[in-house]
Amino acid sequence: MRKTTHFASLPDEGWPKPKDMEPYFLGPPGRRWTLEERQDCWGLAAEGVDGTEHLPDAKGRIDIHLTMVGNPDRGVLLQYRKVGGGYGDVYYSKGELKRLKEWVMTHDGDLMPIGLFIPFERAWAAVKEFMDKDGALPTCIAWIADRDVPNYAFPDPGAREPER
């Protein structure tokens, strides 16, 4: 399994040490999710899980992606995707679902539903569990399946990942 990181100025290869990511989630308010290079969307990936590392992309290889969209005022929206090899699982962190018709704009101009954001502390627990369990869907937070999220929650079609 090949692990990669797209998170602030941390190295791309492998996953970072938890102590290197923790301040982005548990630092003092106002310093959490420090926006380096005006970036508010980061992620971790595991390619070739479940013994499929020898297979090419879209040819049976199973990949997992944990995307994190941070907002200093709202917390973090997590998206978990497990794709390939017959999988097409997509889940979002489950926040206050009654707020799915309220949005926050990312630095790229995409609108993200406030109802899928969770507090930094809970997001950190999920990210740490994701890394500790080699990409397994974290169980320390509640998730909502993509198919159960109403279309109106993502008014910008580009903000929602297409199914593979």
Check residue 37 and give its pLDDT: 56
Number of domains in the chain: 1
Check residue 163 and give its pLDDT: 43
74 within a domain of the structure (yes/no):
yes
124 within a domain of the structure (yes/no):
yes
Please state the separation of Cα 16 from the chain's center in Å.
15
Find, among 160, 128, 104, 129, the residue nearest to 24 by Cα.
Answer: 128
77 within a domain of the structure (yes/no):
yes
Contacts of 87 (CB under 8 A, 6+ apart): 62
108 within a domain of the structure (yes/no):
yes
Check residue 90 and give its pLDDT: 97
- Tell me the per-residue pLDDT of 92-124, one tens digit each, with 9 for 90 and over: 999 999 999 999 988 888 899 999 999 999 999
Contacts of 73 (CB under 8 A, 6+ apart): 104
- C-alpha R_g of the chain: 15
103 within a domain of the structure (yes/no):
yes
134 within a domain of the structure (yes/no):
yes
87 within a domain of the structure (yes/no):
yes
164 within a domain of the structure (yes/no):
no
- Tell me the per-residue pLDDT of 36-92, one tens digit each, with 9 for 90 and over: 556 788 999 999 999 999 999 889 999 999 999 998 889 999 999 999 999 999 999
- Tell me the per-residue pLDDT of 26-46, one tens digit each, with 9 for 90 and over: 887 776 776 555 678 899 999
Is the pTM higher than 0.85?
yes
Residue 139: burial class (beta carbons within 10 Å; 0-12, 13-18, 19+): exposed
Domain assignment of residue 53, given as a range:
2-159
Find, among 28, 134, 146, the residue nearest to 87 by Cα.
Answer: 146
